[in-house]
Amino acid sequence: MQRPASPRRIALLGAESTGKSHLATALAERLRSQGLSTVVVPEVLRGWCEREGRTPRAHEQAAIALEQARQVLVCDGADVVIADTTPLMTAVYSHLLFADGSLYEFSLHHQRVYDATLVTGLDLPWMADGLMRDGPQVREPVDRLLRDALARAGLGWQVVYGRGERRLENALNAIISVASRGHPALENSRNVPQNTPETRLCAACGDPDCERRLFSGLLEPDRRRPPDRFNEPAG
């Protein structure tokens, strides 16, 4: 079968400790088992922190965002490219940590190259991970800023919940529902029915509170709401 001229690009976004990297690996393994050549683009920030032994400063954020985008765009020989985060997460953290909204324009423009955008839900417990983790208290503010940015840009996304194999199946179902048109092999990868409860389409609703009521027993309360405008300080 002749491959598409360009790969299907899948973006995995979400707050820290929501299983993005694990999900990216599991999705790639599943898609490869279905005969689809699949590339995972790792998070540039993680490699940067490991190399430098610290987290980036405000003036170093833009270069990280640009490199993340570059690594995705050079992958043009696969059926599917899975981005274990995109420049949009760099923009969100720049806003939250440094009150700098300057990266939103570039990152949201880049976000349009993806055929499907998945946002990992907050139903997984927070776990420490060295330099890469700021703490459980930042997960809800990050989640809210992320959804706000996507909604303001008119970009659709789907929220993926569940643990283990169920999270994987829900993510695969979400991908197929929006990215499989014209790609029979990807369509044939479907393993679960559409519209399972843990996969939620959020193109219109940017407020995660409606979902958090369903998972109130799993989430720590955090009433702080980040600013509504991209260029306002986060504190």
Model confidence over 206-219: pLDDT tens digits? Answer: 444 444 444 433 33
pLDDT of residue 181: 67
Quote the CA–CA distance of 19 and 219 in Å, as a whole number.
15
pLDDT of residue 180: 66
Q: What is the model's pTM?
A: 0.78
- Domain boundary assignment for the chain: 8-212
Identify whether the C-beta of residue 40 lies closer than 8 Å to the C-beta of residue 28: yes
User: Partners of 10 in the beta sheet?
Assistant: 82, 116
pLDDT tops 80 at residue 232: no
DSSP state for residue 206 in the 8-state scheme = -
pLDDT tops 50 at residue 89: yes
| Alpha-carbon dihedral angle through residues 91, 43, 129, 21, given to the nearest 10 degrees | 110
DSSP string of 38-60?
EEEE--HHHHHHHHHTSPPPGGG
CATH of domain 8-212: 3.40.50.300
Per-residue model confidence as pLDDT tens digits over 123-151: 998 887 765 556 788 999 999 999 999 99
Per-residue pLDDT band at 230 (split at 50, 70, 90): very low
pLDDT of residue 199: 42
pLDDT tops 50 at residue 231: no
Per-residue pLDDT band at 188 (split at 50, 70, 90): low
